[in-house]
Structure 1
Amino acid sequence: AGTEDGLDTRFCRPHADHYSRHGSPYRPSYGAREIAPYRDAALAWLEAHEDDTYVRNAIDRVATLLQTSGPRVEAFRLRGLSPQDRAKAAWARLRNAAVDPRRVVAAWLAIEMIIRDDPQAESKIEFKRVQAAKLIHKMASGTHKRWGEGPNVKELHVYPRSRGRVLRHVGAALEQATELLIQHRAAALPRPFPKGDQT
């Protein structure tokens, strides 16, 4: 079995595909409704602590990732690129979309927070990396072009696939950028819900 990304040969095809997309062969990704309160709380916390040395460090490191990601690559030109180059292209798309680095840092914090509060959380770091990468992948995830006017208008919408080694590279880079912040401030991260209540 395994996946076309060569990620694993231990699972049947459905589980291997699930693993490629979600970072776990069994645990599904967190849904938008589940993660939204954590993203909002994480962003508000970052904004309230912008003068904190470790908050500033994480934001600056993400800004560096965006600025050093190289030229923008259109989504329909990604075919044939290595996973590393596709990951760089994902950062470049975020930069071109002028995504605030604080939103990117907040994505990692949100995953840290929801896993902390999840009694059945997947504990492997790969799951965390993939979950965070999927969040930022959606912030600027495609190429959109439009030609002509009126009834002759033509449109092109291409979205890169959110799966495989690309997510692992994006997630690992984000983990490294936020490493000091998590190391020194994880205990101070807010709880959107009372402890044990995520309803």
Structure 2
Amino acid sequence: MCRVVGCGRPARAATNDGLDMRFCRSHADHYSRHGSPYKASYTAAELKPHRQHARRWLAEHGERRDVVSAIARVEGLYQRAGPHVEAFRLRGLSPEDRARAAWARLRKAQVNPVEVIAAWLAIEAMIEADPHPEHKEFQLVQAAKLVHRMASGSHRRWQGPDGGTIEMHVYPRPRGKVLRHLGRDIEEAAGLVIVGR
């Protein structure tokens, strides 16, 4: 049976829907997307004050050694990401390659590394304020989802045969191991920045 208290549904392994012996399909999908089988991701409204505070703090303490180091580490992730891969060409890539492609999209979109660090600090602050905080994986996934949204899609526009404009907008779905790889990268880059020290 699914390990989530009160669920009552069989685990996926008991329904010939995979090998997962812990969760039912619904809670397995939730875990893949959010980093927890039952806790939902933080909303933009919940995170907004923490992100604003993190940006202000980073602007005031931008010359600190840990902040400078974190910025350099994020820039390193950008440079090591390899060539830019359009979102519609990600099919078949491993989770590690998809995570690198996400860093390449952020680099191409010229996302300021400070925004990545601010995202990590905002998630840290949100978890500290949460009366029911989750385990470490939830923090990694939440930070990854926030950073992934900064430059998540690929957009193409061309002229059709009838002279009209055709547009294509493709957004990769943030879920699974890709988020775990992104989250670990973010933690390694920004995890040593301590607000209030």
TM-score by length of 1: 0.87
Going from structure 1 to structure 2, the CA distance change for 1:9 and 1:66 (only over 3 Å counts) comes to farther
Counterpart residue identity of residue 102, structure 2:
A
Tell me the equivalent position of 1:196: none
For the 8 Å contact 1:7–1:20, the answer to whether it is kept is no
Q: CA deviation at 1:179?
A: 2.6
Deviations 1:63-86 (A, max 9, x none): 110111000000000000000000
Q: CA deviation at 1:180?
A: 2.1
1:44 pairs with 2:49: no
Tell me the equivalent position of 1:93: 105
Larger Rg: 2
Whole-angstrom distance in 2 between the partners of 1:98 and 1:7: 41
1:125 pairs with 2:165: no
2:145 to 102, 122, 134: 134
Unaligned runs of 5+ in 2: 1-11
Counterpart residue identity of residue 129, structure 1:
L
For the 8 Å contact 1:90–1:137, the answer to whether it is kept is yes
Instruction: Provide runs of 4+ in structure 1 moved above 6 Å.
Output: none
Whole-angstrom distance in 1 between the partners of 2:123 and 2:77: 19
Tell me the equivalent position of 1:102: 114
Q: CA deviation at 1:7?
A: 9.7
Counterpart residue identity of residue 40, structure 2:
P
Q: Sequence identity of aligned pairs in percent? A: 59
TM-score by length of 2: 0.87
For the 8 Å contact 1:99–1:139, the answer to whether it is kept is yes
Q: How many correspondences in the alignment?
A: 181
Tell me the equivalent position of 1:13: 25
Counterpart residue identity of residue 138, structure 1:
R
Higher relative contact order (CA 8 A, sep 6+): 1
More moved, 58-67 vs 90-99 = 58-67
Whole-angstrom distance in 2 between the partners of 1:10 and 1:176: 29
Instruction: Give the 5 Å matches for 1:174-193.
Output: 174-181=186-193, 185-186=194-195, 188=196
Whole-angstrom distance in 2 between the partners of 1:54 and 1:35: 23
Counterpart residue identity of residue 28, structure 1:
A
For the 8 Å contact 1:87–1:170, the answer to whether it is kept is yes
Whole-angstrom distance in 2 between the partners of 1:83 and 1:36: 29
Whole-angstrom distance in 2 between the partners of 1:41 and 1:7: 43
1:68 pairs with 2:103: no
Whole-angstrom distance in 1 between the partners of 2:168 and 2:21: 36
Deviations 1:33-80 (A, max 9, x none): 000111111011111101110111111101110111000000000000
